Amino acid sequence: MSIPSLTYRCTACDLLGSDLALHRPRFYLHFESEVLMRATMGWCYTCAKPTVVERFFDVFEVRELQEKILRARTRLADEALNASAKSNWWQREQRATDAITLLETEIENATNTLRRLRHLAAIFNERIAGPHCIECFSEDWTPLPPSSIDAEYCPESASPVKLGFQHPGCGGEITVENDVRFFMKWKPQYFDFEGFPLNTPVTKEQ
Ligand SMILES: [Zn+2]
Ligand SMILES: [Zn+2]
């Protein structure tokens, strides 16, 4: 099994970077809870390369999720009504398994994400440090523009595409291309809620 990733290069120098580390699971330990860190790719001015940076979230993201849940609940109520209006019992059954299960899963996923965001909000409220590079902990970074190509492996679009970001201090253009790495089993990494790694590895009780 392999996981897709993006490779970053520069048109003017031999810079080489990857978003592979983005796939590593990282958790904040907040009292008794483990809260999944959200991360994205940024340009770290201290590391002078593309790195994984912490991603906070904004209120719009929360609102979007709340609206998504509301819409799915309305559709769920409609589906239940439509299903009961069907004349054949098997049509009702089929309807229920297909659409209703799908909507219920959608609601459950969105509710879980919302719960995680609320927990993150509680952590970030207590936090002094801003979002930082997870390699050097510098807050001196800027987000990299989203890539116009997907990280999914797709050989016909494997040629480098300009990212729309200039290599700072070099002037070349950062390009991005698909890549495939063999399966790597990342060990989870644990952080305190200021986003600094915890030295002692945490073993979860089973
Ligand atoms: Zn360069
Ligand atoms: Zn850095």
Domain count, the chain: 2
**9 and 106 co-located in one domain:** no
What distance in Å separates the CA atoms of residue 185 and residue 171, rounded to the nearest whole number? 36
| 107 in any annotated domain | yes
Q: Indicate if the alpha-carbon torsion angle 158, 160, 165, 170 is positive or negative.
A: positive
| Ligand that comes closest to the CA of residue 136 | 2
Q: How far is the CA of 167 from the centre of ligand 1 (A)?
A: 5
Q: How far is the CA of 121 from the centre of ligand 2 (A)?
A: 24
Domain boundary among 102, 122, 142: 122
pTM (2 d.p.)? 0.76
Per residue in 10-24, pLDDT (tens digit) is 999 999 999 989 989
| 180 in any annotated domain | yes
| 15 in any annotated domain | yes
The pLDDT score that the predictor gives to residue 153 is: 54
Q: Is 42 exposed, middle or buried (0-12, 13-18, 19+ CB in 10 A)?
A: buried
| 204 in any annotated domain | no
| Ligand that comes closest to the CA of residue 141 | 2
Domain boundary among 122, 152, 171: 122
Q: How far is the CA of 25 from the centre of ligand 1 (A)?
A: 30
User: Looking at the predicted structure, is the pLDDT value of residue 206 above 50?
Assistant: no
Q: How far is the CA of 162 from the centre of ligand 2 (A)?
A: 22
Range of the structural domain that residue 49 is part of: 2-56+131-191
| Ligand that comes closest to the CA of residue 169 | 1
The pLDDT score that the predictor gives to residue 137 is: 95
Per residue in 137-148, pLDDT (tens digit) is 999 999 999 887
Q: What percent of the chain has pLDDT over 70?
A: 82
| 86 in any annotated domain | yes
**44 and 139 co-located in one domain:** yes
| 198 in any annotated domain | no
| 47 in any annotated domain | yes
Q: How many CB atoms lie within 10 A of CB 200?
A: 6
Measured over all CA atoms, what is the biggest interatomic distance in the chain, rounded to whole angstroms? Answer: 70
**46 and 97 co-located in one domain:** no
